[in-house]
Each structure stands twice: as C-alpha cells, then as structure tokens.
Amino acid sequence: MANSQRPLSPHLGIYKWPLAMAISILHRITGVALAVGAVLMVALFVAIASDPECYEWMRSILAGKIGKSFLFLWTLALFLHLFNGIRHLFWDAGYGFDKQTTFNSGVITLLATVILTVAVWGVAYFS
C-alpha cells in the first residue's frame, strides 16, 4: 500500500525557476499584454478619427499616472517580446541550445529590454 503521508505530486515551491523558463512564461504574458495594448491603440485611433472631445478624453487618461504606467509596461512588454522572438529565431535556425548559451541569451534579452525601454522613455521625456 502507498504511503499516504507524502504528497501526490511535487508542490510548485520545490521547483527551481531557471532563467529560460521565466523568460518563456514572460514571453507568453507579454504576448497577451501586447494584444490588450493593441486594442487600446485601436481605441485611440478611433478616438482621433471620430471626435476631438473623445480624443481629449483618451489623451487625458493616457497622460495620467495610470496611463503612463500602462504605456511604460506596454513598451517593456514590446521589447521583451521582440528580443525573445529574435532569440527564438536563432533557436529555429538550430543555434544556442547549450545550457550556457541559453542562459547568456536570456540575460542579453533582459538587458536589451531594460536598456531600450529606458532609452525610449528617456527620449520621450527629455526631448
């Protein structure tokens, strides 16, 4: 008879989160975030085309703290999804599958994401 004191399956708390797994999960999350952001951009374009008051209302929302936070996170999601997509293109070509290269490309993906996001927002604020 089986020991009833042990769990049926390993608990999520015992798993290590390697960088490749974390970036893979973030890639999926950023894909959803980009889709939501695309709907917001379409709403903004419709507001621009339809009515000046509607556009002004959308602009005031996006110019507020919540709107700027959303746009910052959307920019972060855009760059993470872009650079991880480029990483996947290399994998599709058969390069970068060894453990160290996978880790290094993940670090490069994260660094490039942060650097370009900060650069875009720096240019937006200081120009």
Q: Which residue has the higher pLDDT, 12 or 81?
A: 81
pLDDT level of residue 42 (50, 70, 90 thresholds): very high
Domain topology for 23-126: 3 helical TM bundles of succinate and fumarate reductases (1.20.1300)
Q: pTM to 2 decimals?
A: 0.85
pLDDT of 1 higher than 60? no
Please give the Cα distance from 109 to 20 (Å, whole number).
11
User: For residue 7, what pLDDT is reported?
Assistant: 63
Average confidence (pLDDT) over 29-52:
95
Q: Which residue has the higher pLDDT, 17 or 88?
A: 88
Q: Where do the domains of the chain lie? A: 23-126
